[in-house]
Amino acid sequence: MTRLILQQAPTYSTVTDSFARSESNGWGSADSGQAWTAFGGNATDYSVTSGVGRHSNPSVNVLHRSSVDVGAANFDVTVAVSLSIGTATGAPATVWVAGRYADASNHYMAGFALSTAGQMSLRIDKRVAGSL
């Protein structure tokens, strides 16, 4: 990710992060002060340099997540994402943005997938009580 902006409606409490810092073993804190939390893989898989928050994925089918508490159920999100590969190997490379994340069984997600054939797809999910 190169930039993240989350806004709460209607008071517009804002989480912003330009990733203009150097961090290893995690993403540290957003410009607006909220701490990022990393899940999955090893701490060394997460870093921030040169305006980019990175997830390194050395293994196929290992989920990596970074989250920041927005403090609200309703918000707007703007995310810029890039992959350093043209085609995924072994399994699709996916990037997800979650909203209203209560737990693994209750959330909204928008996801992009790069297939092993080099095709890109978009998916939007709403999961309630574990069901899509």
SS3 23: strand
User: Quick one: residue 82, left, alpha or beta (phi over 0 = left, psi -120 to 50 = alpha)?
Assistant: beta
Q: Each residue of 76-107: pLDDT tens digit? A: 888 888 888 778 888 888 888 888 888 889 98
CB atoms within 10 A of CB 55: 18
Res 93: pLDDT: 87
Res 32: pLDDT: 92
Alpha-carbon torsion (85, 124, 38, 6), positive or negative? positive
Q: Please state, in angstroms and rounded to a whole number, the distance separating the CA atoms of residues 54 and 45.
A: 8
- Among 35, 90, 80, 23, smallest CA distance to 57 is for 90
Q: Please state, in angstroms and rounded to a whole number, the distance separating the CA atoms of residues 30 and 49.
A: 13
Give, for all 132 residues of the chain, the pLDDT tens digit: 555 555 555 555 688 899 999 999 999 999 999 999 999 999 999 999 999 999 988 888 888 889 888 877 778 888 888 888 778 888 888 888 888 888 889 989 999 999 999 999 999 999 999 998
- Among 93, 104, 95, 112, smallest CA distance to 129 is for 104
Q: Please state, in angstroms and rounded to a whole number, the distance separating the CA atoms of residues 37 and 8.
A: 20
